[in-house]
Amino acid sequence: MIPGTFDYHRPTGLAEAVALLASLDTDARVIAGGHSLIPMMKLRLAAPTHLIDLAGIGELKGVKMDGDTLVIGAMTTQHDLILNDLVAAHAPILKEAALLIADPQVRYMGTVGGNVANGDPGNDMPALMMALDGQYVLSGPKGARTVAARAYYNGPYDTAARPGEILAAIRVKAPAAGHGYAYEKLKRKVGDYATAASAVVLTVSGGKIATCAIALTNVADTPLNAAEAAAAVIGTALDKASLAKAAAAAESIASPAADARGSVQYRKKMAGVMTARALARAFARAAA
Ligand SMILES: Cc1cc2nc3c(=O)[nH]c(=O)nc-3n(C[C@H](O)[C@H](O)[C@H](O)COP(=O)(O)OP(=O)(O)OC[C@H]3O[C@@H](n4cnc5c(N)ncnc54)[C@H](O)[C@@H]3O)c2cc1C
């Protein structure tokens, strides 16, 4: 199908984009890689009257360090993440997960900012940012503010962003060197969204898990911070009993819809299975 008509704007600076968004009617939308928004427009599920393209804004692109914090510009593509040395060195789970998103064509265009700002519970990056305790930097008519990824998602396509705000960057404090990590994503085929997926970031000290964060993708209306599952393994050497307890805790918070990917029961079960697999792989990777 063909999208409805809209006016196209291409600002070259973030302040200009924010001002433009404030000056236009409420049906104006920003567009990043377009790989979620354009399909929605073609299906007429979205009909923006104005599109503000962020592609010309250089300050929104790239990854840098600010002390011990990775600062990922919202317009950094998933492909850029995969190739970035800072990401590989400090938050390799982002590279591992980006490689599981769709296919190279989508990853060349799709941005990290679009992926997390969209509020689609099927997107992979939000759970990653929750597990890493990422902070979203939003720029709006009243200035900039920061919202934790763990507090950003209210419901499907419903986020803590206020009208007129544009996501400028994501700040991720680099986990300790030698940390363990894994993103386990069950999907029906290459290029599919997750049936269920689990992100784990942990540290190990003296053979036992010292810190752990777990977040789940596509098993509820929002990505889920599985705090109880993480607490179940802290202080353990990931023995069978604590692993089972963590998997059960992840399962218990999952409330997926039945769809072509499986029944409610199956997808709940898979939330636990993915969590157990991610924990085992992260633990094996971590330096004791
Ligand atoms: C075939 C296919 C398979 C896919 N499979 C997966 C998958 O397995 N996993 C996955 O995670 N994703 C998947 N995607 C989605 C893909 O990763 C999208 O590119 C991504 O989710 C959205 O990023 P975008 O840059 O394309 O955003 P756009 O489509 O441009 O925008 C998406 C939404 O976010 C808003 N937005 C964008 N940038 C900002 C910003 N900086 N500030 C505020 N709002 C903003 C837009 O207004 C829009 O509402 C798939 C897409 C396709 C087409």
| Residue 197, token pair as written in the block | 């997926």
Measured in Å, residue 39 CA sits from the centre of ligand 1 at 10
Measured in Å, residue 46 CA sits from the centre of ligand 1 at 13
Residue-wise DSSP of 97-162 = HHTTSS-HHHHHH-BHHHHHHS--TT-SHHHHHHHTT-EEEEEETTEEEEEEGGGTEEETTEESPP
DSSP state, residue 208: E
For residue 65, the model assigns a pLDDT of 98
For residue 245, the model assigns a pLDDT of 98
For residue 288, the model assigns a pLDDT of 67
Q: Which atom of ligand 1 is nearest to the CA of 32?
A: 30
- Which residue, chain included where needed, has tokens 């008509």? 5
Condensed to tens digits (0 to 9), the pLDDT of residues 190-219 reads 889 999 999 999 999 999 999 999 999 999
Nearest to 275 by CA among 210, 167, 194: 194
**Angstrom distance (rounded) from CA 132 to CA 12:** 31
Q: Verify whether ligand 1 is closer than 6 Å to residue 37 (CB atom).
A: yes
- Which of 45, 108, 111 has most ligand 1 atoms within 8 Å of its beta carbon, as the pocket-test mutant? 111
Point out the residues of the chain with pLDDT beneath 50.
none
Nearest to 64 by CA among 40, 45, 90: 90
**Angle between helix 264-285 and helix 240-253 axes, rounded to 10 deg:** 140
pTM > 0.75: yes
**Angstrom distance (rounded) from CA 256 to CA 286:** 31
For residue 191, the model assigns a pLDDT of 85
Q: Verify whether ligand 1 is closer than 6 Å to residue 101 (CB atom).
A: yes
Are β-strands 166-173 and 135-140 bridged in parallel, bridged antiparallel, or unpaired? antiparallel
Q: Verify whether ligand 1 is closer than 6 Å to residue 137 (CB atom).
A: no
Condensed to tens digits (0 to 9), the pLDDT of residues 81-100 reads 999 999 999 999 999 999 99
- Which of 29, 109, 118 has most ligand 1 atoms within 8 Å of its beta carbon, as the pocket-test mutant? 118
| Residue 243, token pair as written in the block | 């692993």
> Residues with Cβ < 8 Å from 189, sequence gap 6 or more?
none
For residue 176, the model assigns a pLDDT of 94
Measured in Å, residue 35 CA sits from the centre of ligand 1 at 5
Max Cα–Cα distance, the chain, nearest Å: 61
Measured in Å, residue 242 CA sits from the centre of ligand 1 at 36
Phi-psi region of 177 (alpha: psi -120 to 50; beta: other; left: phi over 0): beta
Question: Strand, coil or helix: what is 2?
Answer: coil
Looking at ligand 1, which residue's alpha carbon is closest to its atom 20? 115
For residue 24, the model assigns a pLDDT of 93
Looking at ligand 1, which residue's alpha carbon is closest to its atom 4? 102
Cβ atoms within 10 A of the Cβ of 260, count?
A: 7
